[in-house]
Amino acid sequence: MGRRLGRAVVTAFAVGLACLPLSGCTVPVRGVTGISVAADGTPVVMIVVCKGGRIDSSVLHEPEDTKAPHIAWEHDGPVKDFTSWPLAGDGHWRLTTPLVDLRPGTAYRVYGATHDNKWSAGAVEFSLEDLAAMTPDQVRYRGAVTPGEFGVTSVAEFRKTACHEKDRS
């Protein structure tokens, strides 16, 4: 079953990439994806799901290299509020692809999604260098400081205001 869901996430990812140049085939954005760090500096994905949305999967990839391995997760049920997990997964988020090492000097993008392509959580872009400048009480996401741009704010502020931002793409 895990392989089947992993393939479904990869298929959804491929369909999403194919739709990018087309108008009218985007998945509605009803959440915001952020990236933080644990006390030991390892990356932690965070997603705030906005009212009326849900997510149950997530993908991390290199936007500049579509042939590079990606990381995908699935959740044990729909998430309708806030969730966070380390890249290795946790009790609710399970890896559906092998975990790959992130490399310095490389840009990454992570976002939340649903298996049925009904909703998504706007992506965050980051590098290991971005994460090295952060503390565990901070999160990087689009609209954190300036609408439409990636910035860093507190996790508390992210949870409180992320769904109020107009630009969640």
CA 58 to chain centre: 6
Task: Give me the chain's average pLDDT, please.
Answer: 86
pTM score, two decimals?
A: 0.82
- Say if residue 119's pLDDT is above 80: yes
Confidence category of residue 134, pLDDT binned at 50, 70, 90 = very high
Q: For the beta carbon of residue 158, count every other beta carbon within 10 angstroms.
A: 24
For residue range 157-166, list pLDDT tens digits in order. 999 999 986 4
Token output for 153: 């704010």
Ranking 12-16, 81-85, 147-151 by mean pLDDT, the lowest is 12-16
What percentage of the chain exceeds 70 in pLDDT?
82
pLDDT tens, 4-61? Answer: 444 444 444 444 443 443 344 578 899 999 999 999 999 999 999 999 899 999 999 9
Q: What is the pLDDT of residue 27?
A: 84
Say if residues 5 and 74 touch (Cβ distance below 8 Å).
yes
Q: For residues 75 and 92, is the Cβ–Cβ distance under 8 A?
A: yes
Residue 78's pLDDT band, with cuts at 50, 70 and 90, is: very high
CA distances from 128 to 34, 87, 92 (A): 14, 13, 25
Task: Give the tokens for residue 124.
Answer: 């965050």
Query: Could you give the CA distance from residue 48 to residue 152 in angstroms, rounded to a whole number?
Result: 15
